Chains A and B, each alone.
Chain A
Amino acid sequence: NAGVTQTPKFQVLKTGQSMTLQCAQDMNHNSMYWYRQDPGMGLRLIYYSASEGTTDKGEVPNGYNVSRLNKREFSLRLESAAPSQTSVYFCASTQPIYNEQFFGPGTRLTVL
């Protein structure tokens, strides 16, 4: 089992460009999450999906959109990247809610 996978691992964008971060899990989990972690800071929830077909805003959703494509995949889109979105992005999944979150390796995004 691969667990939670994320692509790409690294990305550099120019201000105004768009991109989609991909996340997939093979653990048959219902719930999936996107977090961002700024240097030396904690993890902040961007969006989450409790189950296939549902998505909800987290603490810092502005500037992002998500798609829960199917049970396995949950993507995060930046429509018009800004330097403030430079961060490490982690995807996580869990099933059921009181069990631990399993994280992907992260995507390191730099916006110039």
Chain B
Amino acid sequence: QQPVQSPQAVILREGEDAVINCSSSKALYSVHWYRQKHGEAPVFLMILLKGGEQKGHEKISASFNEKKQQSSLYLTASQLSYSGTYFCGTVQDPGTYKYIFGTGTRLKVLA
């Protein structure tokens, strides 16, 4: 089952902040975040690992709550270039390579 993201869509003005959540019905061992611009392929933003290690983007941060099986992506001081659809991604079953994506959040930043 796909992780569920919320909100489904959000509209911001430049400079505003946003939080995108990703919730899984199964245990999460690592979470990746991607952004997809219209008509393009998804591009990796960030990885979060158990234990809190994260690597990725300079202006976007994220958190990972293993107990709640949730991850959140924080976009601060949003820019026009942040517009797109954001997906979380994870390996569904440990020990396999079955990688699935969340339901997606459409973000639009207005000038």
Contacts and interface: CB of A to CB of B under 8 A. Distances in A.
A27 interface: no
Contacts of A35: 101
A104 B42 CA distance: 9
Contacts of B104: 41-42
A75 B89 CA distance: 22
Contacts of B87: 42-43
Contact of A100 (B41, B47, B97): B47
Main secondary structure of the interface of B (DSSP, over half): strand
A99 B41 contact: no
A58 B98 contact: yes
Contacts, number: 60
A94 interface: yes
B100 interface: yes
A42 B98 contact: no
B100 A45 contact: yes
A98 B44 contact: no
B5 to A, nearest CB: 8
Interface of B: 2, 30, 32, 34, 40-44, 47, 49, 87, 89, 91, 96-104
10 contacts: A33-B99, A42-B102, A42-B104, A45-B99, A50-B97, A58-B100, A59-B2, A90-B41, A90-B42, A101-B34
